[in-house]
Structure 1
Amino acid sequence: MMASVLLIFPKLSKAQSSVNMNSTIRVLTFNILHGATTKGDFNLDVIADVIKRTNPDLVALQEVDFKTNRAKKYDLVTELAIRTQMIPLFGRTMFYDGGEYGEGILSKSTFIKSRLVKLPHLDNYEPRTALEITTIIGSNDTISFIGTHLDHVEGDTNRIMQAKEINRAFSSNKYPTILAGDLNDIQSSNTINILETFWTSAYNKNNYEYTFPSNKPNEKIDYIMFMPKDSWSVLETKAIKDTVASDHCAYFVILGLNK
């Protein structure tokens, strides 16, 4: 059954005049609940439909299974790439349930290079990673795109360590960079404040566009950020409320690369 989808449109920000259509990038981040859906019926078509509705250039996927038993031995990011006609990349965070579990990226453009950065965590907690690609967009500009999923436990010790490592690991990037993912913390938290010392968040601070839980969103934990600040303009932001595809709302942003 196809899920009903509600698009929540905040007020659009004013773009700088130096942005042209070739340098705009449509970015989506989506925690896909390992393909299970909130009905537990493992419907990848419903998840792909949410992605296709925004026609993204780049997608960061969290809770991505690779040939696990619970995912029926499917390679989820490749299955979604087939359904959305995009190019897939999977980054393993850990071995799990007869397969692997980690981050996924979908892209309309091929990759120049990729890397997987391990993030720190306390002993006996799940590992976390950040998956990065470098690609060339329609304006022939080179950019980097990072997808990540920070620790989910109640205390923020792991998330703070992970946020600091993200800042450190990507501070030397020579290309304009986008960071997207489920950061598992709310705006103005220690985690987000640490990230925002280096990254600029792409959301309207007068309308946070809550992303969790999808059936009744009341907090924002899914983000898209960018750096350097002056290299980007936020043209549009949108939370996508779908109560079946995942327990998270997908979060969508159109960015313009300033010339």
Structure 2
Amino acid sequence: MSIASFAASATEKLAGNEILSVQSGGVPDKIYKENKPTIKVATYNIGKNEAAGNVSDFTALNEAIKKIDADIVTVPEVDNKTGRSGKIDQLKEIADANHLHYAFGKALDFDGGEYGVGILSKFKIEHSQVINLPSGKAEQRVLLLAQVTVPGFDSPIIVMATHLDWQKDPEVRLMQARRILDVSIGDVSSEFKDIASAVKILAGDFNSTSEEQPIKELKYFWNPVQLKGGDSRSWPAINPAIDIDHIFTFKGQKWDIDKFEIPHDTEQFKWSNASDHLPVIAELKLTEQ
């Protein structure tokens, strides 16, 4: 089915039981015993970076992206030609400097430009879509979906990037997490064929620790990528205290975690000079599609 044809189907009204339709089609199950497909994924909030002082200097950010060296990086907080960022398209600047493809998802118009989330990819992004998340009277938040064909995988991967509400009261984040669940199983219209059974990865800044209810709700359909007993704190970068940046894999697939890393400041490189968040990086090996 072409992008045009399944985009048209996205306007159809859903009855609420569409998850059942996956039984008659979709991405087939497959177990990998050898030649397991691998991918390196990261999420990196660059919202408060050194560009605040010199909006044309992306030296530290570009070095950070180079050091991360991931196939896919979700960027949960990025400006597109806003006044505060000197009218620079931040995502394009970083993508061009690192020879990456990118997709931007606008959350709102802001300061003469746009503010939202992004995805960087070593591989071509075939299609992307922005879905608004329920935000009440709070700042509008979105879910950015991008389809990427990664070498070694038998079907495309749908990468989902987001940045949830920041307020202490988790009510809005709970609504947003539940909408993400609905999108994941096809109970919210999207432009992606067979989204319920597709290989999916979700990552971003959830403004919730692993012990808070929004993350617990996401675990209904998603597995957090983390090492048992490992340290998942990513904010603030100078001396991390809480885990609010997360990577998830969909429960329709099984993955081995080959490596999980949140790099800290060293004499060689100060991550805290690039952003107030540390990147969360994972190397994943697919064992069941």
Q: TM-score, normalised by structure 1?
A: 0.88
Corresponding residue of 1:108: 122
Q: CA deviation at 1:140?
A: 4.2
Pick closer, same or farther for the CA change 1:116–1:39 going to 2, 3 Å: closer
- Corresponding residue pairs, total: 241
Corresponding residue of 2:103: 89
Moved over 4 A (4+): none
Which consecutive residues of structure 2, in runs of 5 or more, have no partner in the other structure? 1-30, 187-194, 265-270
Q: CA deviation at 1:39?
A: 7.1
Q: 1: distance between equivalents of 2:262 and 2:200? A: 21
Indicate which of 164, 184, 197 corresponds to 2:220.
Answer: 197
Q: CA deviation at 1:38?
A: 8.3
Q: 1: distance between equivalents of 2:212 and 2:128? A: 30
Q: 2: distance between equivalents of 1:245 and 1:229? A: 35
Percent same amino acid among aligned pairs? 31
Indicate which of 11, 19, 33 corresponds to 1:18.
Answer: 33
Do 1:200 and 1:229's aligned partners in 2 also have CA atoms closer than 8 Å?
no
Say if 2:174 is the partner of 1:165.
no
Q: 1: distance between equivalents of 2:87 and 2:228? A: 41
Q: Which letter maps to 1:20?
A: N
Corresponding residue of 1:41: 54
Higher RCO, Cα 8 Å, sep 6+: 1
Corresponding residue of 1:13: none
Give per-residue Cα distances to partners, 1:91-120, cap 9 Å, x unaligned.
100000010000111111112221111100
Q: 2: distance between equivalents of 1:146 and 1:161? A: 17
SS in 1 for 2:50: coil
Q: 1: distance between equivalents of 2:208 and 2:74? A: 17
Give per-residue Cα distances to partners, 1:54-93, cap 9 Å, x unaligned.
2111110021100001111111111000111100111100
Give per-residue Cα distances to partners, 1:184-211, cap 9 Å, x unaligned.
0111210110011110000123113210
Which consecutive residues of structure 1, in runs of 5 or more, have no partner in the other structure? 1-15
Give per-residue Cα distances to partners, 1:152-177, cap 9 Å, x unaligned.
11110110000000001111323110
Larger radius of gyration: 2
Corresponding residue of 2:139: 126
Which stretch of structure 1 is more off in the superposition, 46-55 or 142-151? 46-55
Q: Which letter maps to 1:255?
A: L
Corresponding residue of 2:71: 57
